[in-house]
Protein backbone atom coordinates (compact mmCIF):
# COMPACT_ATOMS: atom_id res chain seq x y z
CA UNK A 1 0.00 0.00 0.00
CA UNK A 2 1.60 3.26 -1.04
CA UNK A 3 1.48 6.11 1.42
CA UNK A 4 1.04 9.74 0.55
CA UNK A 5 -2.55 9.58 -0.61
CA UNK A 6 -5.04 11.96 0.92
CA UNK A 7 -7.42 9.22 1.94
CA UNK A 8 -7.64 7.96 5.51
CA UNK A 9 -4.20 6.86 6.61
CA UNK A 10 -3.57 3.17 6.53
CA UNK A 11 -0.46 1.60 7.96
CA UNK A 12 2.13 0.29 5.54
CA UNK A 13 3.36 -3.31 5.63
CA UNK A 14 6.57 -2.01 7.23
CA UNK A 15 4.69 -0.15 9.94
CA UNK A 16 2.62 -3.23 10.71
CA UNK A 17 5.70 -5.45 10.74
CA UNK A 18 7.32 -2.96 13.11
CA UNK A 19 4.45 -3.43 15.58
CA UNK A 20 5.02 -7.19 15.45
CA UNK A 21 8.76 -6.72 15.95
CA UNK A 22 8.60 -4.28 18.84
CA UNK A 23 6.18 -6.49 20.77
CA UNK A 24 8.22 -9.65 20.21
CA UNK A 25 5.56 -11.22 18.02
CA UNK A 26 8.02 -11.44 15.14
CA UNK A 27 11.55 -12.59 15.88
CA UNK A 28 14.52 -12.98 13.60
CA UNK A 29 17.48 -15.20 14.42
CA UNK A 30 17.88 -18.97 14.51
CA UNK A 31 15.11 -20.87 16.20
CA UNK A 32 14.28 -24.39 17.25
CA UNK A 33 10.56 -24.85 16.62
CA UNK A 34 8.32 -27.19 18.58
CA UNK A 35 8.21 -29.36 15.43
CA UNK A 36 11.95 -29.95 15.84
CA UNK A 37 12.68 -27.96 12.69
CA UNK A 38 14.76 -24.80 12.55
CA UNK A 39 13.89 -21.40 11.12
CA UNK A 40 15.32 -17.92 10.76
CA UNK A 41 12.07 -16.26 11.77
CA UNK A 42 9.41 -16.85 14.37
CA UNK A 43 5.89 -15.46 14.61
CA UNK A 44 3.64 -15.61 17.66
CA UNK A 45 0.59 -13.34 17.36
CA UNK A 46 -0.27 -13.67 21.06
CA UNK A 47 2.81 -11.56 21.76
CA UNK A 48 1.36 -8.54 19.99
CA UNK A 49 -2.23 -9.15 21.12
CA UNK A 50 -1.15 -9.05 24.78
CA UNK A 51 -0.95 -5.27 24.39
CA UNK A 52 -4.52 -3.97 24.10
CA UNK A 53 -3.54 -0.74 22.36
CA UNK A 54 -1.56 -2.63 19.73
CA UNK A 55 -4.41 -5.10 19.35
CA UNK A 56 -6.78 -2.17 18.83
CA UNK A 57 -4.55 -0.69 16.12
CA UNK A 58 -4.41 -4.02 14.30
CA UNK A 59 -8.15 -4.52 14.70
CA UNK A 60 -8.80 -1.13 13.16
CA UNK A 61 -6.41 -1.82 10.30
CA UNK A 62 -8.02 -5.15 9.57
CA UNK A 63 -11.53 -3.71 9.79
CA UNK A 64 -10.63 -0.89 7.41
CA UNK A 65 -9.66 -3.43 4.76
CA UNK A 66 -13.34 -4.28 4.49
CA UNK A 67 -14.51 -0.72 4.14
CA UNK A 68 -17.70 -0.43 2.13
CA UNK A 69 -18.82 -3.95 2.97
CA UNK A 70 -21.80 -4.29 5.26
CA UNK A 71 -20.81 -6.29 8.32
CA UNK A 72 -23.25 -7.08 11.11
CA UNK A 73 -21.03 -9.26 13.28
CA UNK A 74 -17.52 -10.62 13.56
CA UNK A 75 -16.60 -14.18 14.46
CA UNK A 76 -13.30 -15.97 15.03
CA UNK A 77 -12.12 -19.36 16.27
CA UNK A 78 -10.74 -19.67 19.81
CA UNK A 79 -8.12 -18.97 20.93
CA UNK A 80 -6.35 -16.87 18.33
CA UNK A 81 -9.47 -15.39 16.80
CA UNK A 82 -11.07 -14.15 20.03
CA UNK A 83 -9.08 -10.97 20.56
CA UNK A 84 -8.95 -10.24 16.83
CA UNK A 85 -12.74 -10.55 16.56
CA UNK A 86 -13.17 -8.38 19.64
CA UNK A 87 -10.94 -5.58 18.32
CA UNK A 88 -12.37 -5.66 14.79
CA UNK A 89 -15.88 -5.69 16.26
CA UNK A 90 -15.05 -2.80 18.55
CA UNK A 91 -13.90 -0.69 15.62
CA UNK A 92 -16.91 -1.59 13.47
CA UNK A 93 -19.30 -1.18 16.38
CA UNK A 94 -20.76 -4.66 15.90
CA UNK A 95 -21.07 -7.88 17.87
CA UNK A 96 -17.95 -10.04 18.22
CA UNK A 97 -18.31 -13.73 19.03
CA UNK A 98 -16.15 -16.84 18.84
CA UNK A 99 -16.32 -20.53 18.10
CA UNK A 100 -14.50 -23.18 20.10
CA UNK A 101 -13.87 -26.88 19.95
CA UNK A 102 -16.19 -29.26 21.71
CA UNK A 103 -15.00 -32.88 21.50
CA UNK A 104 -12.81 -31.82 18.59
CA UNK A 105 -15.70 -30.26 16.65
CA UNK A 106 -15.81 -26.51 16.08
CA UNK A 107 -18.98 -25.15 17.65
CA UNK A 108 -20.83 -22.02 18.65
CA UNK A 109 -21.36 -22.21 22.41
CA UNK A 110 -22.18 -19.95 25.38
CA UNK A 111 -25.48 -18.92 23.85
CA UNK A 112 -23.80 -17.17 20.91
CA UNK A 113 -26.17 -17.05 17.94
CA UNK A 114 -26.17 -16.09 14.30
CA UNK A 115 -29.43 -15.48 12.52
CA UNK A 116 -30.33 -16.27 8.90
CA UNK A 117 -29.13 -13.52 6.59
CA UNK A 118 -26.75 -12.00 9.16
CA UNK A 119 -23.66 -10.64 7.42
CA UNK A 120 -20.62 -12.02 9.20
CA UNK A 121 -16.91 -11.30 8.90
CA UNK A 122 -14.70 -14.25 9.85
CA UNK A 123 -11.36 -13.35 11.44
CA UNK A 124 -8.31 -15.20 12.75
CA UNK A 125 -4.86 -14.24 14.01
CA UNK A 126 -2.82 -16.42 11.68
CA UNK A 127 -3.63 -18.91 8.94
CA UNK A 128 -1.36 -21.56 7.53
CA UNK A 129 -3.78 -23.97 5.89
CA UNK A 130 -6.87 -22.03 6.95
CA UNK A 131 -8.54 -25.12 8.36
CA UNK A 132 -10.04 -23.47 11.44
CA UNK A 133 -11.35 -20.54 9.40
CA UNK A 134 -13.01 -22.99 7.02
CA UNK A 135 -14.76 -24.64 9.96
CA UNK A 136 -16.00 -21.26 11.17
CA UNK A 137 -17.30 -20.44 7.69
CA UNK A 138 -19.22 -23.72 7.78
CA UNK A 139 -20.78 -22.76 11.13
CA UNK A 140 -21.80 -19.38 9.74
CA UNK A 141 -23.34 -21.05 6.69
CA UNK A 142 -25.10 -23.71 8.78
CA UNK A 143 -26.85 -20.92 10.71
CA UNK A 144 -28.10 -19.46 7.45
CA UNK A 145 -25.88 -16.41 7.98
CA UNK A 146 -23.72 -14.97 5.21
CA UNK A 147 -19.92 -15.03 5.41
CA UNK A 148 -18.89 -11.76 3.73
CA UNK A 149 -15.14 -12.14 4.02
CA UNK A 150 -12.13 -13.45 5.91
CA UNK A 151 -9.69 -11.15 7.69
CA UNK A 152 -6.44 -12.38 9.24
CA UNK A 153 -3.53 -10.63 10.87
CA UNK A 154 -0.97 -12.91 9.26
CA UNK A 155 -1.35 -15.08 6.18
CA UNK A 156 1.28 -17.80 6.26
CA UNK A 157 -0.37 -19.89 3.57
CA UNK A 158 1.88 -18.60 0.81
CA UNK A 159 -1.20 -17.63 -1.16
CA UNK A 160 -2.63 -21.16 -0.91
CA UNK A 161 -5.46 -20.42 1.52
CA UNK A 162 -8.64 -20.12 -0.45
CA UNK A 163 -12.09 -19.93 1.03
CA UNK A 164 -14.10 -20.70 -2.08
CA UNK A 165 -13.50 -17.28 -3.51
CA UNK A 166 -14.53 -15.45 -0.36
CA UNK A 167 -12.82 -12.08 0.01
CA UNK A 168 -9.60 -12.55 1.99
CA UNK A 169 -7.55 -9.72 3.50
CA UNK A 170 -4.47 -9.98 5.68
CA UNK A 171 -2.29 -7.37 7.36
CA UNK A 172 0.90 -9.33 6.72
CA UNK A 173 1.84 -12.07 4.30
CA UNK A 174 4.65 -14.17 5.58
CA UNK A 175 6.41 -17.25 4.37
CA UNK A 176 8.50 -18.64 7.19
CA UNK A 177 10.65 -21.45 5.91
CA UNK A 178 11.44 -24.31 8.28
CA UNK A 179 14.44 -26.60 7.84
CA UNK A 180 15.38 -30.03 9.09
CA UNK A 181 18.38 -29.48 11.41
CA UNK A 182 20.60 -31.49 9.02
CA UNK A 183 19.85 -29.14 6.14
CA UNK A 184 19.55 -25.89 8.12
CA UNK A 185 21.64 -23.14 6.50
CA UNK A 186 21.99 -21.34 9.84
CA UNK A 187 23.38 -24.47 11.49
CA UNK A 188 25.74 -24.77 8.54
CA UNK A 189 27.02 -21.29 9.38
CA UNK A 190 27.59 -22.36 12.98
CA UNK A 191 25.02 -19.93 14.36
CA UNK A 192 23.66 -21.21 17.69
CA UNK A 193 19.89 -21.72 17.82
CA UNK A 194 17.56 -20.63 20.57
CA UNK A 195 14.04 -21.51 21.60
CA UNK A 196 11.55 -18.73 20.84
CA UNK A 197 10.68 -16.85 24.00
CA UNK A 198 13.93 -17.72 25.73
CA UNK A 199 15.34 -14.22 25.24
CA UNK A 200 15.40 -11.96 28.28
CA UNK A 201 12.52 -9.52 28.57
CA UNK A 202 13.11 -6.02 27.31
ZN1 LIG B 1 19.51 -24.61 12.44
DSSP assignment string, 3-15: S--SSS----HHH
* CATH code of the domain covering residue 59: 3.40.50.2020
- At residue 197, the pLDDT reads 73
Domain region containing 152: 13-188
CA of 56 to the centre of ligand 1 (A): 35
Residue 200 pLDDT greater than 80, yes or no? no
The answer to whether the CB of 121 falls within 8 A of the CB of 74 is yes
CA of 185 to the centre of ligand 1 (A): 6
CA of 141 to the centre of ligand 1 (A): 43
CA of 184 to the centre of ligand 1 (A): 5
Nearest in space to 149 (alpha carbons), one of 6, 96, 7, 140: 140
CA of 182 to the centre of ligand 1 (A): 8
CA of 189 to the centre of ligand 1 (A): 9
Residue 14 pLDDT greater than 60, yes or no? yes
Is residue 61 in some structural domain?
Answer: yes
Is residue 6 in some structural domain?
Answer: no
Is residue 60 in some structural domain?
Answer: yes
- At residue 202, the pLDDT reads 43
- At residue 199, the pLDDT reads 65
pLDDT mean over 181-189: 97
CA of 25 to the centre of ligand 1 (A): 20
Nearest in space to 45 (alpha carbons), one of 36, 58, 32: 58
Is residue 198 in some structural domain?
Answer: no
pLDDT mean over 31-54: 95
CA of 195 to the centre of ligand 1 (A): 11
Is residue 199 in some structural domain?
Answer: no
| CA gap 168, 166 in Å, rounded | 6
CA of 42 to the centre of ligand 1 (A): 13
Residue 53 pLDDT greater than 60, yes or no? yes
118-174, pLDDT tens digit by residue?
A: 999 999 999 999 999 999 999 999 999 999 999 999 999 998 999 999 999 999 999
| CA gap 22, 96 in Å, rounded | 27
CA of 19 to the centre of ligand 1 (A): 26
Residue count (the chain): 202
- At residue 73, the pLDDT reads 98
Residue 201 pLDDT greater than 60, yes or no? no
Residue 86 pLDDT greater than 90, yes or no? yes
Q: What is the mean pLDDT of the chain?
A: 93
CA angle 197–200–201, rounded 5-degree value? 90
- At residue 91, the pLDDT reads 97
Q: Which residues contact 148 (CB under 8 A, 6 or more apart)?
A: 66, 69, 70, 71, 119, 120, 121, 166, 167
pLDDT mean over 60-87: 97
101-121, pLDDT tens digit by residue?
A: 999 999 999 999 999 999 999
User: What percent of the chain stands above pLDDT 90?
Assistant: 89
- At residue 51, the pLDDT reads 98
- At residue 8, the pLDDT reads 57
| CA gap 58, 132 in Å, rounded | 20
CA of 166 to the centre of ligand 1 (A): 38
Is residue 8 in some structural domain?
Answer: no
Nearest in space to 74 (alpha carbons), one of 128, 13, 152, 10: 152
pLDDT mean over 53-66: 97
Q: 11 to each of 4, 6, 108, 172, 198, how far by Cα in Å?
A: 11, 13, 33, 11, 30
CA of 130 to the centre of ligand 1 (A): 27
Number of structural domains, the chain?
1
Is residue 88 in some structural domain?
Answer: yes
CA of 15 to the centre of ligand 1 (A): 29
Amino acid sequence: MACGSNEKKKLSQDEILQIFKETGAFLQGHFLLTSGKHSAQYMQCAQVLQYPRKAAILGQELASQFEGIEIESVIGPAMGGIIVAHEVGRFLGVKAIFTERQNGEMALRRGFKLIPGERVLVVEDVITTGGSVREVIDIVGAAGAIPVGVGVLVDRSGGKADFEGLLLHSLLKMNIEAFEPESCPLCAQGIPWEKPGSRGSK
